[in-house]
Amino acid sequence: MSLAPGWHPVALSGSIDPGTSAGTHLDGREYVVWRDNSGVAHVWEDRCPHRGMKLSFGFVRGDHIACLYHGWQYDTAGRCRYIPAHPDLDVPATITVPVFATVETCGMIWTTTDAAPNRAAPPADPGEAMAVTTLYADIGPLAFLDAVRALPPQPFIPGDPEPQLSQIDGALWRLTAGGDVLLLGMQRLNDVRSALHVVIAGSASTYAGAGQSHVFAWTRALRHRLATVPAKSEATHAEAV
């Protein structure tokens, strides 16, 4: 079974520094998100072909990621290039990690498992984006969005008071509140847990510091609501559709 079609956010761009890696999930499957030292982001299956160690536990050396367990190193195409126990070995080209198309847009790192010919374009980049945080909750995407509708942010920049939530791509939502535009990337981690990546579509001169803190405080209030107000189950949503 492959991933739902389309592009999926897996991290805020700023959460993965050059030369670092982190694990994540999409639809219950494990992925490693890593950035090589030249700054390019990669999303791979989080499993070393040698003995199955999570590559997200490993470390980045230049443009290779090395497994923590026995140090096998993989290049940016996912091909094993170096096996420390056999330093002189010309590593067979068959030892590879499944790699997935990766782009950065809207202040987030995105991936898809769709094959190139029928792959949709990733969400368009709005220009300047200020990352806020990723909010995690034991809840499905629909219930997550319900909570956003039920508790919209107070605007940082005053404007039209009526908040608007609209889907602009499969996993990308646009939330306007007053003069603010937020981009919400919805990541379905597994059957019971989701992540909401929150980015301000706006300039650093307007939002750096106080504006980011303002939106961050909203995400904490949202988390509190999710922890205290019971959500409609995803099944209820499915019946309603």
Partner 1 sequence: MALVLYNYDLDENCYKVRLALSMLKLEHETIAVNAFPGREQETPPFLALNPMGTLPILKDGEQTLFGAEAVLAHLARTHDPAGTWLPVEGEAFAAVMQWLFFASGDLSAAGRARANALFGPPGDETALRAAARRAIMAMEDVMVANGFRAREWFADERHTIADVALFPAFALSRDFGVDHDEFPALRKWARRFRAIPGFLTMPGIPDYH
Q: Which ranges of 112-233 does DSSP label H, i.e. alpha helix?
A: 141-150, 204-207, 210-228
Residue 70 binds what, of partner 1, ligand FES, none (CB under 5 to 8 Å, by partner type)?
Answer: ligand FES
Query: Nearer to partner 1 by C-beta: 134 or 176?
Result: 134
Query: Nearer to ligand FES by C-beta: 32 or 199?
Result: 32
Find the shortest distance in angstroms from Cβ 96 to ligand FES: 13
Helix (H, G, I), strand (E, B) or coil at 123: coil
Q: How far does Cα 138 stand from its chain's mean position?
A: 16
Q: Residue 108, interface with ligand FES (CB under 6 A)?
A: no
Map the footprint of partner 1 across residues 73-132, applying CB under 8 A.
Answer: none
Residue 50 binds what, of partner 1, ligand FES, none (CB under 5 to 8 Å, by partner type)?
Answer: ligand FES
Q: Residue 98, interface with ligand FES (CB under 6 A)?
A: no
**Given candidates 133, 176, 187, 194, which one binds partner 1 under the rule CB under 8 A?**
133
- Round to whole Å and give the CA distance between 156 and 94: 53
């629909």: which residue's tokens?
142
Residues 6+ apart with CB under 8 A from 241: none
**Given candidates 25, 29, 50, 54, which one binds ligand FES under the rule CB under 6 A?**
50
Find the shortest distance in angstroms from Cβ 70 to ligand FES: 3
Q: Residue 136, interface with ligand FES (CB under 6 A)?
A: no
Q: Residue 56, interface with partner 1 (CB under 8 A)?
A: yes
Q: Residue 70, interface with ligand FES (CB under 6 A)?
A: yes
98-105, Cβ contacts within 8 angstroms, sequence gap of 24 or more: 98/44, 98/45, 99/42, 99/43, 99/44, 99/45, 100/31, 100/43, 100/44, 100/45, 102/41, 102/42, 102/43, 103/7, 104/13, 104/41
- Round to whole Å and give the CA distance between 57 and 217: 31
- Round to whole Å and give the CA distance between 106 and 12: 9
Q: Residue 20, interface with partner 1 (CB under 8 A)?
A: yes
Distances (CA, A) of 19 to 56, 64, 148: 12, 9, 34
127: left (phi over 0), alpha (psi -120 to 50) or beta: left
Q: Residue 44, interface with ligand FES (CB under 6 A)?
A: no
Question: How many chain residues are in contact with partner 1, going by CB under 8 A?
Answer: 26
Which stretches of the chain bind ligand FES, using CB under 6 A? 48, 50-51, 53, 67, 69-72
Which stretches of the chain bind partner 1, using CB under 8 A? 11-12, 15-17, 20, 22-25, 56-57, 59, 66, 68, 133-134, 136, 195, 208-210, 212-213, 216, 220
